[in-house]
Structure 1
Amino acid sequence: MKTDTDVLIVGAGPTGLALAVDLARRGVDALVLERAQELFPGSRGKGLQPRTMEVFDDLGVLDAIHAAGGTYPVGMVWRDGERVGEHHMFDPAEPSEDSPYNAPWMVPQWRTQEILAERLAELGGKVAFDREVAGLTQDADGVTAHLSSGRAVRARYLVAADGGRSAVRRALDIGMTGETVDPNPTLVADVRIAGLDRDNWHLFPPRDDADFLAVCPLAGTEDFQVTARFPEGADVDLTPDGIRKVVADRSHIAAEDVVEVRWASDFRPRAALADRFRSGRVFLAGDAAHVHSPAGGQGLNTSVQDAYNLGWKLGAVLTGGAPAALLDSYEEERRPIAAQMLDLSTGVHRGEVRRGEATRQLGLGYRESSLTAEARGAAVAEGAAVRAGDRAPDGRVGDVRLFDAFRGPHWTLLALGTDAPGGGVGAAVRVVRGDAHGAYGTGLFLVRPDGYVGWAGDTPEGLGSYLGRFGLSG
């Protein structure tokens, strides 16, 4: 049966757009379907963690992300109209050579999506709006998505990136296992406020019968994000007047100073994990696969990294000659990470965990993955700073910056303080040669297209057979 596209992506949020960008630069034909008539308009997922900044560096959007956002302001605690103290949301961290982006970066979610959509258009990709998937069927050769309009779209693979209430996940009858993190409903809104300084994240602790209020200046905009929690079972008034009343009741800000409400929503924080991330030729990614409390700033970031993990694998299978079995590793690698991040974000929400090293996501990796091969002796590997499965750090080898060398859809072989294979490793692998490096030490390190060390060895023995698993010569 003829296919309309190689990969059909359902949902034009950060997950779907990041995946579409990654596939487009690999020459994979992909189509993004979005049931809304435009991109999501709110600021909801405004925090980009350092590991996601590294992903965006590779996808070619980091300059635009930097230009669109800024660092997080220090929290300012208010009581009775007076400033009573500062509150630091994050443990401090300085950038280093191996981790140049070592602090969260604030960009409203709507702007992140615009930047990804602009990058997708540059690469020749597209989003089809007002396209709702009502059901799907699949067979051994592909997937057919049935749209509410009556049209059908045929693809070799389909990726559900359509959010926590994923219609695709429900159509596949894949369950979500989870818990309520907080039974209290929470309001989040993007507003404009006259006369309020943008130097701080303004915090108004609970008092009397009112719960907390937080008013955060959104970097790169003239807006503030308002967050307010309500008693369990309360109805949240999302009208402009309702939002003005909440702000005025809980702070010294006058209702009339809330001059515009640009977007508003409410939610009840929960944590849930899909029982499976794959069914046949359909994959779940982002909120369709895992739903987080927003407190830890992990949801959007984990979602983008789902896309980054899946993108190179789909590209390898569809255009690079890799066996289809490679796609089995997506769930194997990403579901444990999602479970770990769910525990983390829930802990942050409940005040049990600080926003620090773990929330930056630089320590995540795939040491236990079936794709990981550590060919050095156990004693050498155990004492090594970087092992197979770890994130590949940045740094300089001679006059080459490693993140520059990694950028693109290829694999990279680092030959540090030792010789690279004499017979070469094929055109799909870039080789960087240099002296022993502070972050890596000495050895051969084969870096996957998503920036993790897939294979590490003291000698080239075994490297060729490892590359052969992915349809690469070596």
Structure 2
Amino acid sequence: MQFHDHGYVSGDPRVEPAAGVGVDRPEDLPDRVDALIVGAGPAGVTALAQLAQFPNVNARLIERRPDRLAVGQADGIQARSVESFQAFGFANRLTEEAYRIYSMAFWKPDPLEPKHIVRTSLVPDDPQGVSEFPHLIINQARVQDYFAEFAANSPSRATPDYGVEFLGLRVTDRAHHPVDVDVRHTVGPRTGEIRTIQAEYVVGCDGARSSVRDAIGRKLVRQAAMHAWGVMDVLVETDFPDYRTKCAIQSHDGGNILLIPREGGYLTRFYVDLGEVAEDNDGAVRQTPLATVVARANKILHPYSIQVRQVTWWSIYEVGHRLTDKFDNVPADDETRTPRVFIAGDACHTHSAKAGQGMNVSIQDGWNIGWKLGHVLDGRAPATLLHTYSAERQVIAQDLIDFDKEWSTLMATPAEELAEPSSLEEFYVKTFEFPAGFMTQYGPSMLVAEPTHQHLAAGYPIGKRFKSALVNRVADTVPIHLGHHARADGRWRIYVFADASSPGIGPVNDLAAWLETDPASPLKAHTPPDLDIDAYFDVKVIYQQRFEDVDLRLVPRVFLPRAGKRSLVNWEKVYATEDGQDIFEEREIDCGGAVIVVRPDQYVANVVPLTATEELATFFDGIFIQSRSSR
């Protein structure tokens, strides 16, 4: 963590100086906002947290609940989400609270006594080591608390407006703040008051029964039969030996349980399969009593049993694979209109509980739309950028639903009907990267380049997330994960992987001079002159030499920029290798070097040679608006 750049900080360094709309931020919801987020679920709080890093953007989040969420339905945190938490500054703290999944046990009917279950395998949770971050289990409410804390500590000092209910919206033809949003206060002295808020953009994160989605005429289309689950967080007395291990349990009659140990050492969540729901059920399954769920669990667990000592939360809910055809209010065949209303999370896609995707996908939705709205509202990028939100996230949601269907079908299939006894376990291991969130790959667009130079960095596929690796920070010799230094601050990352030349000579020196002085450089063309040179673009260099062989006196100034009102040198942008920690080898980076461009949400946007300055300039010119004046 870096601080003191604006002067000595004696308090909590996570609390950034207030700026822009964060100075004297009004406590009451104003009549006019730049971005109005509806719903304080995972997608909503993530979008708010990202927008809070843009101090000139007035973003507000309304939530009809009177206060923060106390108990959430979601609990599974995939490794890709924990990577994201690192950027928002709370991965370590959340990991300390959470239950960490190392293995998954598979239980099936005993071939000799089919009414009994037996453990058939125990597989590692991350068999291929795809991330340095773990798979966690923690209450959704805590995740949302951390995002809310980040937003409140950001320059904009953003906090949710609780006790405000969304009623409806209309997109007008006004040039500015064209969306009229009707809301009603549900708590406090203004209870019952109906108001109209004018917004530049609206993001609906209000769940599977989204009123925002209804207001723009989008519908969740069912792609498979609805399935009912009895879900309970319980403290129990049990003789089941894997009570504190994540388990997929299949019984002789096809019923199954997904057992998820919870944080704290005693609490466990049971997802108890209640079967498919008929079209004409009309919600009747939600009347299933808790006693029926417990009895069903004991039937599946036989010969083991549970005696419930306390139920901290339980619910019956129906989940199906559902998806909207588009995630904004503009028809698919109309690229001329600017999207003004967006939907995210469960408002536009739902999944079964078995793949544990709901909260994780929603977080990525929120981050995706958050940084893009920030760029547009802050004047960095044109509004055409916003078309990429639906284009990117709708495809990913469909891919996840396809995976979810296959996994859910396998889990629901009686063991004797599987092609092989180990089919379920083999599918889990083979496809681990998908549910962990690492198979997302965005296609070419204004934000993602064609893979023309992919061979220069085969380990960083364009369109996929930037996979971190250990390097040594030259200034203090500390080994550090390169990706862990990137914060969710709305900036783009430009990683310059050097050729074999020593610092001060070769193509890296030429590139550095161009970045620092040429009018076509993104640092010159797109960064306002009154801001620090790295305000929009975080440029780092990684040398092939060992860290002790890199002389900082010879490193170009663009990699040692001055920042803050005291114009202090940032020493943490120069890296090198160490024996056994060669990022060039691990990520298959060409010995001739390469430039890797990474988006604010950690996805690789481009790979170019060190000499491709014109190509680099053209790429950023297609995204950013020319700065008001050159630096």
If the length of structure 2 is used for normalisation, what is the TM-score? 0.67
- 1:200 corresponding residue in structure 2: 245
Equivalent residue runs for 1:274-289 within 5 Å: 274-279=324-329, 280-289=339-348
Q: How many Å separate the matches in 2 of 1:412 and 1:309?
A: 16
- 1:190 corresponding residue in structure 2: 233
Q: CA offset at residue 128 of structure 1?
A: 2.0
Among residues 440, 446, 451, which one is paired with 1:370 in the alignment?
446
> Within the alignment, does 1:357 sit opposite 2:433 as a pair?
yes
Q: Deviations over 1:364-387 (max 9, x none)?
A: 222323322248558x46x83324
Q: How many Å separate the matches in 2 of 1:201 and 1:193?
A: 16
Equivalent residue runs for 1:12-411 within 5 Å: 12-27=40-55, 28-72=57-101, 74-75=104-105, 77=107, 84-85=118-119, 87-88=121-122, 92-93=126-127, 95=129, 99-101=131-133, 103-123=134-154, 124-139=157-172, 140=174, 141-142=176-177, 143-148=179-184, 149=192, 150-181=194-225, 183-194=226-237, 198-201=243-246, 205-207=250-252, 211-220=255-264, 222-232=266-276, 235=285, 237=287, 239-251=289-301, 257-279=307-329, 280-351=339-410, 353-354=427-428, 355-374=431-450, 376=452, 380=455, 384-399=458-473, 401-407=481-487, 408-411=489-492
Q: Secondary structure at the match of 1:15?
A: helix
Q: CA offset at residue 397 of structure 1?
A: 4.4
Percent same amino acid at aligned positions? 26
Q: How many Å separate the matches in 2 of 1:39 and 1:90?
A: 35
Q: CA offset at residue 434 of structure 1?
A: 2.2
Q: Secondary structure at the match of 1:342?
A: helix
Runs of at least 5 residues in structure 1 that lack an aligned partner in the other structure: none
Q: CA offset at residue 243 of structure 1?
A: 4.2
Q: How many Å separate the matches in 1 of 2:376 and 2:249?
A: 52
Q: Deviations over 1:319-347 (max 9, x none)?
A: 14211111111112111111111111121
- 2:624 corresponding residue in structure 1: 470
CA distance 1:393–1:217, change in 2 (3 Å): closer
Q: How many Å separate the matches in 1 of 2:408 and 2:108?
A: 21
Deviates more, 1:406-415 or 1:300-309: 406-415
Asked whether the equivalents of residues 107 and 220 of structure 1 are also in contact (C-alpha less than 8 Å), the reply is no
Q: Deviations over 1:204-236 (max 9, x none)?
A: 54356x833444321236422122122445735
CA distance 1:235–1:287, change in 2 (3 Å): closer
Q: CA offset at residue 67 of structure 1?
A: 1.6
Runs of at least 5 residues in structure 2 that lack an aligned partner in the other structure: 1-29, 185-191, 278-283, 330-338, 411-423, 474-479, 499-506, 517-521, 524-532, 545-583
CA distance 1:39–1:188, change in 2 (3 Å): farther
Q: Deviations over 1:282-322 (max 9, x none)?
A: 11111111111121122221111111111111111111421
Q: How many Å separate the matches in 2 of 1:375 and 1:85?
A: 45
Q: How many Å separate the matches in 2 of 1:119 and 1:87?
A: 41
Asked whether the equivalents of residues 99 and 261 of structure 2 are also in contact (C-alpha less than 8 Å), the reply is no
CA distance 1:385–1:202, change in 2 (3 Å): closer
Q: CA offset at residue 78 of structure 1?
A: 8.2
Deviates more, 1:446-455 or 1:117-126: 117-126
Q: Secondary structure at the match of 2:597?
A: strand
Amino acid at match of 1:410: R
- 2:477 corresponding residue in structure 1: none
> Within the alignment, does 1:447 sit opposite 2:588 as a pair?
no
Q: CA offset at residue 138 of structure 1?
A: 1.9
Q: Secondary structure at the match of 1:373?
A: coil
Amino acid at match of 1:386: Y
Q: Secondary structure at the match of 2:235?
A: strand
- 2:496 corresponding residue in structure 1: 415
Among residues 517, 532, 537, which one is paired with 1:429 in the alignment?
537
Q: Secondary structure at the match of 1:370?
A: coil
Q: How many Å separate the matches in 2 of 1:75 and 1:305?
A: 28
Q: Deviations over 1:97-124 (max 9, x none)?
A: xx322x5222222322232233333332
Q: CA offset at residue 94 of structure 1?
A: 5.2
Deviates more, 1:402-411 or 1:191-200: 191-200
CA distance 1:188–1:3, change in 2 (3 Å): same
Q: How many Å separate the matches in 2 of 1:231 and 1:365?
A: 33
Amino acid at match of 1:265: S
Amino acid at match of 1:144: D
If the length of structure 1 is used for normalisation, what is the TM-score? 0.88
Q: How many Å separate the matches in 1 of 2:106 and 2:618?
A: 57
Q: Secondary structure at the match of 2:601?
A: coil
Q: Secondary structure at the match of 1:7?
A: strand
Asked whether the equivalents of residues 375 and 462 of structure 1 are also in contact (C-alpha less than 8 Å), the reply is no
CA distance 1:89–1:348, change in 2 (3 Å): farther
Asked whether the equivalents of residues 237 and 243 of structure 1 are also in contact (C-alpha less than 8 Å), the reply is no
Q: Secondary structure at the match of 2:100?
A: coil
Asked whether the equivalents of residues 31 and 196 of structure 2 are also in contact (C-alpha less than 8 Å), the reply is no
Q: Secondary structure at the match of 2:464?
A: coil
Q: Secondary structure at the match of 1:435?
A: strand
Q: Deviations over 1:106-162 (max 9, x none)?
A: 222232223223333333221222322111112242222112441222221110011
Deviates more, 1:286-295 or 1:142-151: 142-151
Q: How many Å separate the matches in 2 of 1:401 and 1:248?
A: 46
Q: How many Å separate the matches in 2 of 1:347 and 1:138?
A: 39
Asked whether the equivalents of residues 52 and 304 of structure 1 are also in contact (C-alpha less than 8 Å), the reply is yes
